[in-house]
Amino acid sequence: MLRWRIGRDPLWTEFDRLQTSMNDLFNALTSGGPKPFFDPLWREARLFPLLNVREIDHTYVITAEIPGMKTEDLEIKVVGDTLTLKGERKPIDIGEGAAYHRRERATGTFHRSMTLPSRVDPDTVKATYKDGVLSITLEREKAAVPKQITVSTE
């Protein structure tokens, strides 16, 4: 990409800095190269675990793929219409003398909070973990469930 400069005006200097930063960003994304100026942002931007949320009748079902985790390393909280999922994926001990050739699976702690479409009843929350998939079932609060009113004629 051709770099442009016009004089020493601070506005153009700022545009030049922006162009350099954008070039670094696109180069890092496409080449897998170093991510110097936004490395902390890069680490924070990876959302883990990825969540699917679906509604069945008056129940929300949330699934998250978190392979290799133990249930004791997970914490699930529900307050009002907010679900919070915390956990820690611990590194696997590969033994002495071994080395990674490629390491893509992230380790460490994660924290995801999401606002649900309506309030849920915290007493009815159920969570199951099978084959690396966490499933959380939350029933809508009775006040949040629409009630059909029948109109009678006189």
What are 31-65's pLDDT values in tens digits? Answer: 655 555 555 554 544 567 888 999 998 899 999 99
Split at pLDDT 50, 70, 90, the class of 129 is: very high
For the cut 80, the answer to whether the pLDDT of residue 113 exceeds it is: yes
What is the pLDDT, as a whole number, of residue 144?
A: 62
Cβ-contact 78, 61 below 8 angstroms: no
CATH architecture of 47-93+105-144: Sandwich (2.60)
Cβ-contact 10, 18 below 8 angstroms: no
Split at pLDDT 50, 70, 90, the class of 3 is: low
- pTM: predicted TM-score of the whole model, two decimal places: 0.62
Report the 3 state secondary structure along 70-131.
CHHHEEEEEECCEEEEEEEECCCCCCCCCCCCCCCCCCEEEEEEEECCCCECHHHCEEEEEC
Domain boundaries, the chain: 10-43, 47-93+105-144
Split at pLDDT 50, 70, 90, the class of 8 is: low
Start-to-end CA span in the chain (Å): 78
